[in-house]
């Protein structure tokens, strides 16, 4: 009787452990996948962004901002309304560009990358509002800079 009881307990334990392992692996999926975008190192916007901007008739110029392990360079960019800024991640960190204030991004809600990119990843945004727009790397909030948009 004791031998049967021990075998049953052992089988139940194995089944429970297998179930826990199965459900634990199912629940450990990442919230968002972080991967670099496959965009070449030119200063051009991705083709779908370029055509959408040109069809709206607001495209003027593209400005480039580098993100390194030391932060954003240049720290301040002055552009005309309708111009685009492209950020390129040349750091070992993730880059997630978003308007201030951290973490709400409510000063210019549309100016929000919405997900991070790794090294060589890029993010482009066309500014359609005049103003002085502070921004930060949501993945490293102490890294900040500013885009000034004029008419």
Helix (H) or strand (E) holding 141: strand 140-150
Measured between alpha carbons, how far is residue 32 from residues 35, 67, 115, 116, 145 in Å?
A: 10, 21, 7, 9, 25
Identify any residues that bridge with 63 across adjacent strands, giving them in sequence order. Answer: 85
Q: What is the pTM of this model?
A: 0.61
The answer to whether residue 58 is domain-embedded is no
Domain that holds residue 79: 63-150
Read off the tokens for 31: 């919230």
The answer to whether residue 114 is domain-embedded is yes
The answer to whether residue 38 is domain-embedded is no
Read off the tokens for 14: 């194995």
The answer to whether residue 109 is domain-embedded is yes
Cα separation, 137 vs 76, whole angstroms: 14
Domain of residue 107, CATH code: 2.60.40.420
- Whether cis (ω within 30° of 0) applies to the bond prior to 138 is no
* Cα of 121 vs its chain's centroid, Å: 9
CB atoms closer than 10 angstroms to residue 38: 9
DSSP state of 6: H
Cα separation, 136 vs 151, whole angstroms: 24
The answer to whether residue 110 is domain-embedded is yes
Q: At 13, give phi and psi (nearest 5°).
A: -60, -45
Q: What is the pLDDT along the chain (151 residues), one digit of tens a residue?
A: 678 877 888 778 888 887 777 666 555 544 444 444 433 333 455 665 555 555 555 556 789 999 999 999 999 999 999 999 999 999 999 999 999 888 877 889 999 999 999 999 999 999 999 999 999 999 999 999 999 999 8
DSSP state of 5: H
Q: How many domains does the chain have?
A: 1
The answer to whether residue 13 is domain-embedded is no
The answer to whether residue 35 is domain-embedded is no
The answer to whether residue 80 is domain-embedded is yes
CB atoms closer than 10 angstroms to residue 60: 13
């Amino acid at each position: 009787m004791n031998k049967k009881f021990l075998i049953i307990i052992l089988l139940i334990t194995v089944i429970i452990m297998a179930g826990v392992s199965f459900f634990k692996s199912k629940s450990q999926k990442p919230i968002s996948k972080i991967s670099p975008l496959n965009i070449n190192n030119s200063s051009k916007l991705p083709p779908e962004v370029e055509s959408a901007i040109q069809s709206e008739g607001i495209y003027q110029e593209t400005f480039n901002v580098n993100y390194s392990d030391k932060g954003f360079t240049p720290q301040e960019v002055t552009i005309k309304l309708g111009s685009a800024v492209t950020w390129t991640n040349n750091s070992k960190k993730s880059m997630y560009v978003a308007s201030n204030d951290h973490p709400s991004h409510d000063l210019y809600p549309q100016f929000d990358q919405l997900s991070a990119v790794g090294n060589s990843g890029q993010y482009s945004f066309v500014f359609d509002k005049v103003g002085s727009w502070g921004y930060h790397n949501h993945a490293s909030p102490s890294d900040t800079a500013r885009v000034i948009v004029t008419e």
